[in-house]
């Protein structure tokens, strides 16, 4: 279902901004993609391919654009986001709904310089934004209920599954869970319990495949909460509980082992293997999501 007469602006034409534009173009939204760096805009234009013909690329959002929705998607720097969101507000009508695609910065912090923070909230999309269904919808303390409802309705029209948080916590939900899992993974590597290849195999082909079909709470229901409690009683004392990042992670970053983009992280990467992996991931995500959605329909 395409959205009639909807206009959106995306501020920040990096990876997330580009995939957001692709998502919206596919749903018939009139898209303006804004970035102060012409080079970034050109890279985005090339990445969008045929979709680029339906996007207005510009280095400045002006009053003439009059978007119904604006998504800020600049780098995760609080001061930068505060400045950009304040600029956005000064250039759009008071009726425009403004969202931030932050992955964990408190919404009230980003909104601190806004005149009308009640029309502002977090809409945390996941990469690639044109494929992954979930969006964390995160209100600030002053976000109005009608704004939350309007944002969720629009996201649903885009084909997303908006999930509203009752309160804003650092990292929201997905990143808190992801970092809790990675903290234990890194601890196991540091202790020499398992090698990276084996760890990935265990997680991917056990809890990983299950999580594609059931959320963690539904899976616990299916397994039995009494069983989970019994295991938790003896296991929790032995789990990693440090409140600082693992030394292994800090060492890798200090050595320039930043992952696929640097050619080495936990594994070795070439430009070819990186590109192949990313392209295959897009194909496989479509298939996995289709299976998960079918599972939902079966349960309904």
Is the peptide bond prior to 17 cis by the omega test (within 30 degrees of 0)?
no
CB atoms within 10 A of CB 155: 20
**Residue from 118, 111, 92, 116 nearest 7 by CA:** 92
Quote the pLDDT of residue 2: 53
Question: Hey, which residues does 30 pair with through a beta bridge?
Answer: 7
Fold classification of 174-269 (topology level): 1.10.1040
Q: Phi-psi category of 92—alpha, beta or left, where left has phi over 0 and alpha has psi -120 to 50?
A: beta
- Tokens of residue 195, six digits: 């090698």
Which stretch of DSSP H or E encloses residue 9?
strand 7-11
Residue for token digits 């200090």?
A: 254
CB 270 within 8 A of CB 260: no
Quote the pLDDT of residue 1: 46
Quote the pLDDT of residue 4: 58
- Tokens of residue 206, six digits: 């056990």
Residue for token digits 């959106």?
A: 8
CB atoms within 10 A of CB 119: 23
CB 98 within 8 A of CB 85: yes
Which stretch of DSSP H or E encloses residue 150?
helix 145-157
Predicted TM-score (pTM) of this structure: 0.92
Fold classification of 7-164 (topology level): Rossmann fold (3.40.50)
Q: Which residues of the chain fall below pLDDT 70? A: 1-5
Domain ranges of the chain: 7-164, 174-269
Sequence-ordered alpha helix ranges (H) in 59-110: 78-91, 107-110
Quote the pLDDT of residue 225: 97
Q: Which residues contact 271 (CB under 8 A, 6 or more apart)?
A: none
Residue for token digits 């005149």?
A: 115
Give the Cα separation of 4 and 12 in Å (integer).
24
Quote the pLDDT of residue 297: 87
CB 295 within 8 A of CB 213: yes
Quote the pLDDT of residue 63: 85
CB 209 within 8 A of CB 152: no
Which stretch of DSSP H or E encloses residue 97?
strand 97-100
Beta strands, E only, 45-96: 55-58, 69-72
């Amino acid at each position: 279902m395409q959205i009639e007469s909807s206009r959106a602006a995306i501020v920040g034409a990096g990876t997330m901004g580009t995939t957001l534009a692709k998502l919206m173009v596919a749903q018939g939204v009139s898209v303006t993609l804004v970035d102060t760096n012409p080079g970034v805009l050109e890279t985005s234009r090339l990445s969008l391919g045929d979709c680029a013909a339906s996007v207005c690329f510009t280095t400045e959002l002006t009053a003439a654009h009059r978007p119904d929705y604006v998504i800020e998607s600049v780098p995760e720097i609080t001061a930068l986001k505060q400045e950009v969101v304040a600029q956005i507000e000064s250039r759009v009508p008071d009726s425009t709904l403004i969202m931030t695609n932050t992955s964990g910065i408190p919404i009230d912090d980003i909104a601190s310089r806004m005149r009308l923070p009640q029309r502002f909230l977090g809409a945390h999309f996941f990469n690639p934004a044109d494929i992954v269904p979930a969006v964390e919808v995160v209100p600030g303390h002053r976000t109005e209920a009608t704004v939350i409802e309007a944002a969720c309705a629009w996201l649903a029209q885009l084909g997303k599954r908006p999930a509203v948080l009752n309160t804003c916590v650092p990292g929201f939900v997905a990143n808190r869970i992801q970092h809790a899992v990675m903290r234990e993974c890194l601890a196991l590597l540091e202790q020499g319990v398992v090698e990276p290849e084996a760890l990935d195999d265990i997680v991917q082909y056990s809890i990983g495949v299950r999580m594609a079909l059931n959320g963690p709470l539904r899976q616990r229901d299916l397994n039995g909460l009494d069983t989970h409690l019994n295991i938790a009683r003896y296991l929790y004392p032995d789990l990693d509980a440090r409140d600082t990042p693992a030394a292994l992670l800090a060492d890798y970053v200090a050595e320039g082992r930043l992952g696929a983009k640097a050619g080495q992280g936990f594994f070795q990467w070439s430009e070819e293997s990186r590109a192949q992996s990313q392209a295959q991931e897009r194909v496989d995500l479509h298939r996995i999501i289709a299976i998960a959605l079918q599972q939902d329909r079966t349960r309904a």
